[in-house]
Structure 1
């Protein structure tokens, strides 16, 4: 029998797992409802449709990453080396064990050119990543363009997450993390 009580956050967290595993287009509302142990109609109490749910998943996890990664870059009570260590530690914990990749990267690759609704949310996420890294790189006075270096490192992380998923090899993500950490 389906679960009767649930919260919006529980639906988002459990739905995100389904989206990560199956992708946006291969996750039906029936799949999502089953994973959340609710009736399909219960989703519509919280979300307009699957697109709204996916966007709310992106926003929810963007806020978690804001708190656990981006905000740390500005915490001047910590040395820059400690900040990057914490930021990249969170990235490792988030991606090394799930085996399905990055919610933002996966959604972008799957929906680009087909579902422009998600593009701004995803772009905002990656812009905040770039700003967080740029802030740290400026603080340690990297000789290169801070924003360009930050963007290169985001590419390195995202690429390593995709290849880690493809080859089932966590060392690819670890190597990217080590390369970024070596700047400090």
Structure 2
């Protein structure tokens, strides 16, 4: 029996979990409705389409990371290396806390070539991620090198998630964390 009262926030949260686990294209509106305890027709009361819902999910994830993860890079109460360590650890923890890995990386791989509507949101997320890492590396390196180190960290992180999914071995994530710190210490 469907739940009578579900908030838009709860719908977005359930959609996030399903999109992370199953992917965007493999998640149907029926799947989403069931996960939220709604009848399929009732789901449209909250979102006009799956695309509209995905845009809201992407925005929600971006805002969460901006305020709770990327912001760590700018917290001057800790030294830069400690901020880098905390930011990457938090990022890994958040992505690994539910099945599916990094939602933004997953969606970029799955939808970037077929759903242009999502690209701006995903680009904004990765640009902010890159700025946060480059900010930390710039405390030790000149801007061009800091930018390259930040790019390398993101590439390794997203690649690590692919390997974790293929091998079920979380060591790849621990290695990414360690490599980012080693680059900082170089």
Normalised to the residue count of structure 1, the TM-score between the two structures is 0.94
* Root mean square deviation, CA, Å: 1.5
Aligned equivalent of 1:84:
84
Contact preservation (8 Å) 2:134, 2:143: no
Q: For the Cα contact (< 8 Å) 1:95–1:161, is it kept in 2?
A: no
Is 1:15 the equivalent of 2:15? yes
Structure 1: 5+ residue stretches without partners = none
Unaligned residue ranges in structure 2 (runs of 5+): none
Q: Which residue of 2 is the match for residue 4 of structure 1?
A: 4
Alpha-carbon distance in 1 for matches of 2:143, 2:105? 29
Deviations 1:38-83 (A, max 9, x none): 1222322221200010111111011111111111111112111221
Aligned residues: 184
Structure 2: how far apart are the matches of 1:143 and 1:114? Answer: 34
TM-score after normalising by structure 2: 0.93
Partner Cα separation in structure 1 for residue 25 and residue 172 of structure 2: 27
Residues 1-184 of structure 1: matches in 2 within 5 Å? 1-141=1-141, 145-182=145-182, 183-184=184-185
User: Any conservation in 2 of the 1:58–1:104 contact (CA below 8 Å)?
Assistant: yes
Asked if the contact 1:70/1:128 (under 8 Å) is kept, the reply is yes
Structure 1 runs of 4+ aligned residues shifted over 4 Å read: none
Does structure 2 retain, via aligned residues, the 8 Å contact 1:96–1:173? Answer: no
Judge which range, 85-94 or 112-121, deviates more: 85-94
